[in-house]
Amino acid sequence: MALGIRAQAMSIPSIDRKRAIGIVLAAITAVLVLLLTRPPDRIPTLVASTDIAPGHALTADDVTIRYVESAEGLVEGASLGDLASWSLRAPIAEGEPLVPSLLQPPELLANPNVIALSLDESHAVLGRLVPGDRVDVYLTAGNGLADDPTTQLIAANVYVVEARTGGDGLDADSVNLLLAVDEDLAQVIAGAGRSGAVDLVRVSP
C-alpha cells in the first residue's frame, strides 16, 4: 500500500501594514525630538578670574573659562594661548569676559604711543602690511640734482598696530598705518616725513 504524502503549505504571518507605518513614524518622531531638544554646542570663552588693571601683562592665573552658546564679540578659547603677555586698554572686574577691542599686544607696553603714517604703496616693500607685522623704516634724503640721494635706516623692527591699504580718490594707492613708538621714535619718524622719502621694509619673522 503506497503511502501518500500530502504537503502542507506553511503559513507565513502577514505584517500589519498600518502597524509597520506606525513604527516607522514613531522612530522618525523620536529622532526629531532628540535633535530639537538637544542642547546647542557650547563654546569656551575667556573670563577674568580676578580684577585686571590696564597695562597688566596677562597670565594663565588671570583668566578662567566660561562656556556660552554664542561667542560673538568675545575671546574664544580654552586657554590664554597666544594672548599670554597681552594687556588690556581698560580695567575689567572679576567675572567679566575678555573682548578683542580691549586687548593690546605686548609691544604696546614697551612702546605705549602710536604714530600715524601714510605713504604710497610703492614705498611699502616686501608685501602687503597687516597688523602684527614689523617693519624697518628708511629715509631717503637729497636736494634734487645737486646732491646724490642718501638712504639710511632710522628705525628698526617697529611694530604695526593697524594697517589699511587703499581708499577713495587720491588715497586709492596709499598705505595708512599706526606704528607703536616711544616719544623719541615718534619725533624721528615725524621729522623724516618732512626731510625726504620714507620707505618701509617688512621684517621677515
pLDDT at 37: 65
Looking at residues 38-46, what average pLDDT do you find? 79
Nearest-CA neighbor of 201 among 125, 120, 122? Answer: 125
* Bridge partners for 178 per DSSP: 116, 162
Query: What CATH number labels 43-104?
Result: 3.90.1210.10
Nearby residues of 176 by Cβ (< 8 Å), 6 or more positions away: 116, 117, 118, 163, 164, 165, 167
Q: Tell me how far CA of residue 144 lies from CA of 1, 43, 125, 152, 153, in angstroms.
A: 135, 61, 23, 17, 20
> By the 8 A CB rule, do 159 and 180 touch?
yes
Q: Tell me how far CA of residue 73 lies from CA of 45, 97, 135, 197, in angstroms.
A: 10, 10, 30, 40
Instruction: Tell me which of 168 and 6 has the higher pLDDT.
Output: 168
Mean of all residue pLDDT scores within the chain: 81
pLDDT at 7: 47
